[in-house]
A = this chain, B = another copy of it.
Amino acid sequence: MSAIGSTDAGQDPGPGGAWSGLPDRLRARGLRWTPQRRLLVDVLSRTDGHVTGSELVERCREVDATTIPSTVYRTLDVLEELGVLSHSHGADGREEFHVLPASEHGHLYCRRCGGQWELSGEEPPVAAALAAFELDRGFEIDVSHLTLVGRCSACRASDGSAAATEH
């Protein structure tokens, strides 16, 4: 993790930091750089991988117990519009956020073992699918919002070929 110091306002113009100059980017749009936003951005900057909205709320509360959920969610919306992060929906449909400009990726869930894997847009199966939809219907699929659910190879193996539908 090269980015972001854990301290105050928008310093840390690290070359790789997605957060550098965020305050100015907000202001350039007529938006504002508030303590609450700084807190959330700070939390996000120390976050890797996936987080749900409620997890973020919780982490913010650890730093500032007065954090209000709606403020967090609204700020997340703003950050998403700025392209700083994006969200997708987990296997249960719940929101999951992840930070950019980490490579865009989707998710693969096994509904049996609960395992999950990231899907880069470059992986052959994914790339093929994207290209196919592009060609076939001119549809541009948002990889970062891609969620696939099914059974992983391990679970299929252990299920055997038996049509044993548990339950």
Interface residues of A (CB under 8 A from B): 81, 83, 89, 92-95, 108, 110-111, 123-125, 128-129, 132-133, 135-142, 145-153, 156, 165, 167
Contact = CB atoms under 8 A, between A and B. Distances in A.
A138 B153 contact: yes
Contact of A149 (B94, B125, B145, B167): B145
A110 to B, nearest CB: 8
The 9 closest A-B pairs by CB, nearest first: A138-B153, A125-B132, A129-B129, A89-B93, A141-B150, A93-B93, A142-B150, A145-B149, A140-B151
B141 A156 contact: no
A144 B44 CA distance: 34
A142 B83 CA distance: 30
Given A125-B132, A128-B132, A141-B149, 7 more contacts: A81-B165, A89-B147, A111-B142, A125-B135, A125-B137, A139-B151, A142-B150
13 contacts: A83-B165, A93-B94, A108-B139, A110-B139, A111-B142, A125-B129, A125-B132, A125-B133, A128-B128, A133-B148, A137-B153, A142-B151, A146-B148
